């Protein structure tokens, strides 16, 4: 079936995008769609998804270590303490995407999140995970949505709480990357046998 899982060089079936580069093979097999918990870890993913807006994910993936160095490993408390001087430093950092609005949004989001109790970001994001029993495995890439009711609701909630660059498409990409939904195609070797806990 066109657009369905494809056999890689090792003979194992994968989502077609997961075979396009070696970086994607590793990310697809070991990370994408696996449950992520922890406020700092989710802040990193949310920030990277925001930086990805308008770009290909491979651009972000290949600069992830640069982002981690530039943004203090995405420790919310550390990024929340960034100043205008840090923002200017980031604008000159070739290891990241130098977009002023996205940089300022990342720092602003950290400042908002630094006022939340520990575990609140994790609990909030995961409260929007749909029941996996009600979701059929996508058979082709065309079956994978870009936005869902849950991602729209998550986006609205995050925005209401003061976060920026968290539109419904970014929220859904976060949900996919962090395992709130399993959008690996039917037959893909990385598709979970059991739902996230």
Active site residues: 27, 49, 57
Pairing of strands 13-14, 6-7: antiparallel
Report the distance separating Cα 104 and Cα 93, nearest Å.
14
Residue position matching structure tokens 């996205």:
102
Report the distance separating Cα 124 and Cα 27, nearest Å.
25
Backbone angles phi, psi at 159, to 5 degrees: -65, -40
Radius of gyration of the chain (CA): 17
Is there a contact between 182 and 191 (Cβ–Cβ < 8 Å)? yes
Q: Which two tokens stand for residue 60?
A: 């972000």
Report the distance separating Cα 51 and Cα 64, nearest Å.
11
């Amino acid at each position: 079936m066109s657009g369905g899982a494809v056999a890689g060089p090792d003979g194992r079936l994968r989502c077609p995008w997961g075979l396009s580069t070696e970086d994607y093979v590793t990310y697809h097999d070991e990370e994408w769609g696996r449950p992520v918990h922890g406020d700092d870890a989710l802040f990193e993913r949310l920030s990277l998804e925001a930086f990805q807006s308008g770009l290909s994910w491979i651009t972000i993936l290949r600069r992830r270590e640069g982002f981690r160095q530039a943004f203090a490993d995405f420790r919310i408390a550390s990024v929340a303490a960034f100043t205008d001087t840090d923002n200017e430093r980031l604008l000159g950092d070739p290891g990241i995407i130098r977009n002023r609005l996205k940089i300022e949004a990342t720092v602003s989001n950290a400042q908002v999140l630094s006022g939340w109790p520990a575990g609140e970001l994790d609990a909030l994001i995961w409260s929007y995970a749909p029941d996996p029993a009600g979701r059929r495995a996508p058979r082709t890439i065309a079956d994978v949505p870009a936005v869902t009711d849950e991602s729209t609701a998550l986006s609205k909630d995050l925005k209401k709480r003061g976060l920026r660059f968290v539109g419904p498409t970014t929220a859904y990409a976060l949900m996919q990357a962090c395992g709130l939904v399993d959008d690996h195609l039917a037959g893909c070797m990385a598709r979970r046998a059991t739902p996230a806990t």
